[in-house]
Amino acid sequence: MSTHAATEDIFAGSGDEPKADRVYLAQGGDWADIAGEQAERGDETIVVNMGPQHPSTHGVLRLILEMDGETVTSIRPGIGFLHTGIEKNMEFKTWTQGVTYVTRMDYVAPLFNEVAYCLAVEKLLGITDDIPERASIIRVLVMELNRIASHLVAMGTGGMEIGALTVMTIAFREREMILDFLEGLSGLRMNHAYVRPGGVANDLPEDGISHLRTVIDWLKKHLPEYATFCNENPIFINRLSNVGVLDLSACMALGVTGPRLRGTGYGYDLRRMQPYCGYETYDFDVVTWPSNDCYGAFRIRLQECWESLKIVEQCLERLERTQGQPVMVADKKIAWPAQLALGPDGQGNSNEHIKHIMGESMEALIHHFKIVTEGFKVPVGQVYQAIESPKGELACHLVSDGGTRPYRAHFRDPGFNHLQAIPAMCENGMMSDVVVAVASLDPVLGGVDR
């Protein structure tokens, strides 16, 4: 079957100027046929679409490449294929309901979206200092577990794309252990909607502490395998070294944060620079690796898994100390009722709360109805809250007009900013290196498109 070549640009609109005099459609043909025909024409420049279905583009990302042979002369990211209208939809939902939307943006690290949003709402409400200590500890715990899970996906899929398939299979094995814990805590493996304005939805289950110890022991046992597979592997090192180079000045100019920024040797981490959720009270190191390339980003993610595990162990100690303390603000005008208990059907139920509002207090029933359907009002103002997600600086900008719904909600997702760095990383490099460069940024298109 031969490759089809059209003499006209069949993708151009009726009123468009033709952008190309020859369009090739890959329908089972051979690359040599295309290259041979191009050679006869004396024009080696070919425009190639990588994605939006290509697995190496980390989801629905389209990259438009102009190539001279195998060398990328120009590359342009095309986004919007996963646009959900989350930010606009939030204008029509109450402040608490907004959590259910934001958790679906960066779906690999959903708990960070929830925390950034809730911290912003709490700042507008002026209740930042009223959040119970145990709620902040649980927030830190789930974020750091989620950070490890996100880094495992980045390292695993990044390894898969260069042929190191075992790295992916073991990465998803460890991630399952973390997702099992998060499911036991929130009821869901992802898109948890667990962090709420004022605290968290519910406390750890009865076996939560012992389950957490099991996860910690498992990770301590298996995380060293990644270093064995990759750190001393000359093929792996050569494939990532001096590829997708971004120095400190380029990162600053392009708004690059997270592992790629720390990969220049600059230890910028918002948990240290602008602490939130009590991070200033935890002992951990900000990991840097002064290589400016994809290999440095990999080494940073690997070491950050250990630093996160160190924080998780500190959370375990604090959770044992604060057993029985509240996990939601005392103000009933803000706190959603969520004292979940395991019912006889195996499902989570708010038994005591339902008993109270249905059989004991008409006022409690009215309040429950109003806070769930109408929501609470947030004072007029606007706020910007930034946190350190696994990918970089994740921030939430909220505007309130004094009502029960956001007037405007906008998120600074690190992946959106990072995609503009792709031309700087890839142009004048090989087409095969584009995959490695994109993987080092670890973009999640749910967060990019929103």
Q: What is the pLDDT of residues 421-437, one digit of tens each?
A: 888 888 888 888 888 88
**φ and ψ of 197, to 5 deg:** -55, 120
Question: Where among 43, 78, 113 does a domain terminate?
Answer: 78
List, in order, residues 6 or more apart from 436 with CB less than 8 Å away: 158, 161, 162, 239, 240, 243, 244, 294
Any idea what DSSP says for residue 430?
Answer: B
Residues 311 and 213 in one domain: yes
The helix (run of H) or strand (run of E) holding residue 392 is: none
Which H or E run contains 443?
A: none
Domain shared by 426 and 297, yes or no: yes
Note the pLDDT of residue 15.
66
Query: Is it the case that residue 354 has pLDDT exceeding 60?
Result: yes
C-beta neighbour count of 329 within 10 angstroms: 20
Same domain, 323 and 189: yes
pLDDT value, residue 113 = 92
Shared-domain flag, residues 310 and 339: no
Handedness of CA 224, 225, 229, 233 (dihedral sign): positive
Task: Provide the pLDDT for residue 102.
Answer: 92
pLDDT 10s digits, 376-387: 888 999 999 999
Strand partners, 75: 65
| Domain CATH code at residue 260 | 1.10.645.10
Residues 358 and 211 in one domain: no
Mean pLDDT of the chain, nearest integer: 83
Same-domain pairing of 362 and 415: no
Q: Apex CA 280: angle with CA 274 and CA 284, to 5°?
A: 105
Q: In the listed set 51, 78, 105, which residue is the last one of a domain according to the structure?
A: 78
**What does the pLDDT average to over 232-236?**
79
Residues 109 and 224 in one domain: yes
Q: How far apart are the first and last CA of the chain?
A: 41
> Token pair of 43, please?
């024009």
> Domain check: are 93 and 73 in the same one?
no
Same domain, 127 and 177: yes
In this structure, the answer to whether residues 69 and 173 fall within a common structural domain is no
411 dihedral zone (left: phi>0; alpha: psi -120 to 50; beta): beta
For the entire predicted model, the pTM comes to 0.85
Q: What is the mean pLDDT of residues 329-344?
A: 71
Residue numbers of the domain that contains 349 = 335-375
Task: Tell me: do 108 and 74 sit in the same domain.
Answer: no
Give per-residue pLDDT as tens, 414-423.
988 998 888 8
Q: What total number of domains does the chain contain?
A: 3
Higher confidence at residue 49 or residue 77? 77
54 pLDDT more than 60: no
pLDDT tens sequence across 278-291: 899 999 889 989 88
pLDDT, tens digit (0-9, with 9 covering 90-100), for 31-53: 677 667 666 666 667 777 777 76
Residue 364 has what pLDDT? 76
What would the mean pLDDT of 221-240 be, rounded to a whole number?
A: 82
| Domain end (from 311, 344, 375) | 375
Pairing mode, strands 71-78 and 62-68: antiparallel
Calpha distance 65→420 (Å, rounded): 14
Do both 350 and 217 map to the same domain?
no
The reported pLDDT for the residue numbered 146 is 93
